[in-house]
Structure 1
Amino acid sequence: MTCIAIGAMMAEPAAAQQKDNYPELEGPGPVIIISKDKNGKQELIDVFNETQRPHFHDPRAPRFLLTDRQGKFALGIGGYLKTTMEYDFDGTVDDIDFIPALIPQPGSTQVRNQFQMDAGTSTIFLKLVGRTKHLGNFIVYTAGNFRGSGKTFELQNAYLSFLGFTMGYDTGLFMDLAACPPTIDFQGPDGMTFYRATQLRYEANLMKGLKVGVGVEMPSVDGTPAKDVRINKQRMPDIPAYVQYSWTKGSHVRVGGILRSMTYEDEVSNKAKSITGWGIQASATAGLGNFRAYGQFTYGKGIAQYLNDMSNLNVDIVPVADEAGRMQVLPMRGWFAGLQYNFSKRVFASTSYSQSRLFTKDCYAHFNETQYKKGQYLVANVFWNVTHNFQVGVEYLHGWREDFNDLSREANRINLSAQYNF
């Protein structure tokens, strides 16, 4: 029978991207459950580190690993427990996330303060990795949190990756995870592209520092139906692509785009019609000494569901004024800029400003004066790595919402968080 040994490996190096972006204390390596044949165990740990997801809210490399007898495959089990306390003052947001689009209409509520707590973003994941002869680094990843209805477990990632191909459910290709600034707020900045989709994508390193990607994604159209219009079945996938150039670890510039065909049923003429949506994006992150900068700019038509804040408005496609059975796409824009300063491996701080903007077309604003026109989001925070696995943070948020009638309202929030990684 195979004897099983339980031991601790050497100190695990943090993933390059994660370590460069968010400083952390060195900690003990993963606990390994292995057979007597330990060949390849360090190589497997390297695969976990190389494929570490760079987004601030994604969990770190796993703390516990199980390997097969030959040491060719390893299963990682990990995640984090996160609890957040939130206090809104001088204006509230009708959500556990800070979403300026959901600041209530003037007069709709007399409550100007609000206290909330949340543990729903706590995450659990399983990750299988291996170095194979024909498929290279082989990865199966599933993760979820408790943001489902009634705080039930909700799938966030479920994909298989090998030879540059990724298939399954994951964050979309029309976004740049590594360029997202750190926030306690789970949504993150206004105008930042963030979404998940079932997809098939291919990414490749063409030469040193140059990377490209292209994919097909399950379409989802969030629209405001006109009279005699139905929005349900879609006939074409969304097609995202990008080109990225990196000059050092953790520093890159990226240009991407997405093309989509959105179908609706015109019940006046009994026809299925399609409208083309598209978006372009430029993003970057770079480190200089103890500083790190983040930035992103996105512009397009019919891409609201990809942009924070506007994804809550159902404006991928909207009615044409006074024309039954006809829909249109509106221009929209989102951008953010942020700066982070690393005081030490224990403490870092960041601040960022972001904005999302919906433009009018064909008298849309005239017939929708109380519709969202612009959202703004300002955040400043400090994080302290108390130990290798335990992090606390404090954050201030200020948000503005402005409608097409030029009326605006504001809200403020203080966030406190505690997170333990396992």
Structure 2
Amino acid sequence: MTIQTTFKKASLFSASALVLAVASASHAYEFEVGDVTVNYGGYTKLDMIYNVEEDLGDAFNIGSINTGAAEDNEVEGSTRFHARQTRFGFGTDAMVSGSNLKTYVEADFFSGNADSGFNQVVSNSTQLRLRHGFGSWNGILAGQTWSNFMPLVALPPTLDFNGPAGYIFNRQAQLRYTTGGLSVALENPESTVNNSLDDNDPLPDLTMKYKGAAGPLNYSLSGVVTYLEVDDGNTDASENGYGVMLAASTTVGGVKLGGNFGYNDGANRYIFNSVSPFQNGYLDANGDIETVSQVDAMGFVDMPLTPMLNGLVAVGYSGGDADDEAAAQASGFRDSTMSVHANLRYKPAERIMYGLEYQYAAVDEYDGTDGDASRVQASVKYTF
């Protein structure tokens, strides 16, 4: 076996155009092993966070913002340093039977709990976790990566790991077929129906997306259909859920503009910072599955201020509509969620980034109570 040991700078994600759309600013080492091209790279990242109000975690967890009496009595002001977003990945690319066989594996350290030794007192230990692990050949992708429903054409570069409200953020196992700009996938159907003892997932989620371009404009239209079922021996209920999302981005005079607009009902878990975090519906007093519809929107402007300094403003919104607002709120659903991320990213050299970001979010409950939170985050990122 011959290994070419001359390393050269290359895109970290050249093994997959899918991931290249998300992290094209990263770099890696590329080398040949026989007839296989191998890429390896990643980055280290220090995040230094000051919570002006309540502590919302190592990433801005908008869904946990206090409201009502809890908002009035919360503890304010806390500092947290961590390096959990540090990551590495490698990919391969080889010609097999006339088509490129591409694989990609990526991991970071955004996992861990107290039982596994995760603590800030002594070691700050965190667990390694799988982000991406997939292969693609002849239009067929199999493994874990971004949901096909997720609009990668409009991803704002926030320092915050979670990002704005109103945006799809989901990675999961799937089997996908792509031809031209059209992709169809069967994906892991991990649905949560609150108030139920047994959430069944008898069928995979079905997602479809079409990506295209018109001059400098890149756009995508995606959709998802999911089947919700509860069957615990006493309750047997089912409901359909769906979602659609239109997204686009363009660059004008060096300024990147992007955003998305979508609607879903019963597929709410795909919207990460939304009015229904990680839930698709709830079981009502009659034993029926009730869904909450929501409108989601996000927009951002990323502008070069100098050759080495960029500034970003991203605004997100998620608004819900429940038939029984009291029951929906009791089950963890909220009336609306909004967020603002504003940052400055300074790049003195190609593989170095220093950033400062202000984050603000507000939530409204169906009963009229509300809450908000803000914090400041500084980051240092070194790419290898």
Specify if TM > 0.5. Answer: yes
Give yes or no for contact 2:282–2:328 (8 Å, CA) kept in 1: no
Q: Match for 2:30: what amino acid?
A: L
1:153 match: 128
Structure 2 spans left out of the alignment, 5+ residues: 113-117, 119-125
Shift of 1:313: 3.5
Query: C-alpha deviations, 1:131-162, integer Å up to 9, x for none?
Result: 3442x222111111101113100101100011
1:28 match: none
1:253 match: 219
Match 2:43 to one of 64, 80, 87: 80
2:100 match: 137
Q: Match for 1:414: what amino acid?
A: V
CA distance in structure 2 between the partners assigned to 1:196 and 1:49 by the alignment = 15
1:193 match: 168
Q: Does 1:290 align with 2:254?
A: yes
The TM-score normalised by the length of structure 1 is: 0.81
Query: C-alpha deviations, 1:106-133, integer Å up to 9, x for none?
Result: 4434412121122111111121112344
Match 2:20 to one of 53, 56, 74: 53
CA distance in structure 2 between the partners assigned to 1:200 and 1:61 by the alignment = 28
Cα pair distance change 1:50/1:124, threshold 3 Å = same
Q: Match for 1:166: what amino acid?
A: L
1:368 match: 329
Bigger shift: residues 96-105 or 375-384: 96-105
CA distance in structure 1 between the partners assigned to 2:241 and 2:102 by the alignment = 33
2:77 match: 113
Shift of 1:356: 1.1
Structure number with larger C-alpha Rg: 1
Query: C-alpha deviations, 1:254-298, integer Å up to 9, x for none?
Result: 1111111111115436x4x32100011100011111211111011
CA distance in structure 1 between the partners assigned to 2:108 and 2:309 by the alignment = 26
1:7 match: 6
Structure 1 residue runs of 4+, over 4 Å off? Answer: 47-52
Structure 1 spans left out of the alignment, 5+ residues: 19-46, 206-210
Secondary structure of the residue aligned to 2:153 is helix
CA distance in structure 1 between the partners assigned to 2:228 and 2:25 by the alignment = 34
Query: C-alpha deviations, 1:214-238, integer Å up to 9, x for none?
Result: 110010012212xxx4333311110
1:223 match: 193
CA distance in structure 2 between the partners assigned to 1:367 and 1:122 by the alignment = 37
Match 2:288 to one of 326, 336, 345: 326
CA distance in structure 2 between the partners assigned to 1:295 and 1:327 by the alignment = 32
1:213 match: 183
Q: Match for 1:233: what amino acid?
A: N
Cα pair distance change 1:148/1:312, threshold 3 Å = farther
Give yes or no for contact 2:275–2:320 (8 Å, CA) kept in 1: no
Identity, in percent, stands at 18
Q: Match for 1:327: what amino acid?
A: I
Aligned length: 369
Alignment of 1:307-386 (within 5 A): 307-310=271-274, 313-320=277-284, 322-323=285-286, 325-361=287-323, 363-365=324-326, 368=329, 371-386=333-348
